[in-house]
Structure 1
Amino acid sequence: MTLSRSALLVALLLSQAWSFLSLSEDDGVPEDWVLLHVVQGHIGAGNYSYLRLNHDGRIILHMRSLAGDADLYVSDNTLHPSFDFYKLQSVTCGQDVVVVPGDFSRPVGIAIYGHPSYQESEFEMRVFYDQAVPQDPFERSSYASENGRGGKTSTQAAEEDFQEEESIFWTILIGLLKIVLEILF
């Protein structure tokens, strides 16, 4: 019986080692992407960890939850985005990828959120710069002056208003569900 447990443990360790080796830094990453940073950390349930992105150009945030479930929120309007206020998000149970466009104003706020269903989440985020996208230093200012709204069209503004209303709805709904669950349990 101890032999079968030992064999099972060895098989588990080998599978973990294989998955670690198969997820190498160069695996599936285009040649035009340059690795800028690797950020590793832990985040408690319901908490945020904030980062600031100052690098110009198209940036790819590739985050992997090593344990638990960490989610990613990004905004160029605030340095402290949240699940209530963000421009880009990735909230999967595994790999989260967000592409930060080159026309986002810098600095960009990045929030890593520890999902409440896990006591603690461990993550690793790789930050890539996409060299394939040419940078035009005049693109941001000319776009903003053409639209007369700081770069946002009326369609974009309407979409942001709708997202904000939808976000408030979900916040209230989640709050009510938490109250009901606290009463029941």
Structure 2
Amino acid sequence: MEAYWRKILWMLLTSEALFMVQSYEEERIPDEWMLLHVLQGQIGAGNYSYLRLNHEGKIILKMQTLRGDADLYVSDATLHPNFDEYELQSTTCGQDVIVVPAHFQRPVGIGIYGHPSHIESEYEMKVYYDRTLLLNPFLESSYDPEKMETSQRKQHSPQDASQDEESIFWTILIGILKLVLEILF
């Protein structure tokens, strides 16, 4: 009987933790961002799916992995970026975000990679246009693409490290919760 109540307690705690994780990761979109596209897809383990971005201006790519682990690679030098050849990348286990700067040559290649740790990955990508420069023309005169976007290139900044730590924390938490649920059922 005690084991039964212990299982119910674990189920309640697990569902509460999952609810907190989902509410924490709800989208917070600035008013200056305009939604251009919503794409959904699936990608097999070790495979790439390629997209082409033709829209000018500063573009934000927000990809949420719904199942598995999909990674994002972006390049203005090739239409088929991969983990060896890219300008920008995001390789988290949850939400991947990349800001494509306005100075990138168009078309921009976008590569979505299905990590081999999962047979198939499912994702949803939202593409936003940042209208900040249009709304505040005085920002354009002080805009230096090299200073603004270098933190997203292949080098890592301290801010990236804190985001990686936060992502790793959520990945571990979700993994533990999955393990607990698997043991219980």
TM-score (norm. length: structure 1): 0.61
Unaligned runs of 5+ in 1: 144-150, 161-185
What CA distance in whole angstroms lies between the structure 1 residues aligned with 2:83 and 2:71? 9
- What SS class does the counterpart of residue 133 from structure 1 fall into? helix
What CA distance in whole angstroms lies between the structure 1 residues aligned with 2:76 and 2:53? 9
The answer on 1:125 being equivalent to 2:129 is no
- Spell out, residue by residue over 1:58-107, the C-alpha distance to the aligned partner (whole angstroms, 9 max, x if none): 00000010000000000000000000100000001101000000000000
Residue 123 of structure 1 aligns to which amino acid in structure 2?
Y
What CA distance in whole angstroms lies between the structure 1 residues aligned with 2:122 and 2:101? 26
What CA distance in whole angstroms lies between the structure 2 residues aligned with 1:87 and 1:104? 10
What CA distance in whole angstroms lies between the structure 1 residues aligned with 2:35 and 2:17? 27
Unaligned runs of 5+ in 2: 1-6, 155-185
Other-structure match for 2:66: 66
- Spell out, residue by residue over 1:4-63, the C-alpha distance to the aligned partner (whole angstroms, 9 max, x if none): x9xx999999998997788666x3x00000000001000000000000000000000000
Other-structure match for 1:85: 85
Residue 86 of structure 2 aligns to which amino acid in structure 1?
Y
- Spell out, residue by residue over 1:119-152, the C-alpha distance to the aligned partner (whole angstroms, 9 max, x if none): 000000000000002499xx9xxx9xxxxxxx99
- What SS class does the counterpart of residue 133 from structure 2 fall into? coil
Other-structure match for 2:110: 110
Residue 93 of structure 1 aligns to which amino acid in structure 2?
C
Residue 59 of structure 1 aligns to which amino acid in structure 2?
I
Q: Which structure 1 residue ranges, 4+ long, deviate > 2 Å from structure 2? A: 8-25, 133-136
Go from structure 1 to structure 2 and tell me whether the alpha carbon gap of 1:20 and 1:93 turns closer, same or farther (over 3 Å shift): closer
Go from structure 1 to structure 2 and tell me whether the alpha carbon gap of 1:120 and 1:73 turns closer, same or farther (over 3 Å shift): same
What CA distance in whole angstroms lies between the structure 2 residues aligned with 1:65 and 1:15? 19
Q: Which has the larger radius of gyration?
A: 1
Equivalences, count: 136
- Spell out, residue by residue over 1:155-185, the C-alpha distance to the aligned partner (whole angstroms, 9 max, x if none): x9xx98xxxxxxxxxxxxxxxxxxxxxxxxx
Please provide the CA RMSD for this pair.
2.8
Other-structure match for 2:175: none
Q: How does 1:1-185 map to 2 (within 5 A)?
A: 27=28, 29-134=29-134
Go from structure 1 to structure 2 and tell me whether the alpha carbon gap of 1:30 and 1:45 turns closer, same or farther (over 3 Å shift): same
Residue 105 of structure 1 aligns to which amino acid in structure 2?
Q
Aligned residues: percent identity?
A: 57
What CA distance in whole angstroms lies between the structure 1 residues aligned with 2:129 and 2:50? 20
What CA distance in whole angstroms lies between the structure 1 residues aligned with 2:37 and 2:24? 20
What CA distance in whole angstroms lies between the structure 1 residues aligned with 2:24 and 2:127? 19
What CA distance in whole angstroms lies between the structure 1 residues aligned with 2:94 and 2:82? 19
What CA distance in whole angstroms lies between the structure 2 residues aligned with 1:20 and 1:85? 33
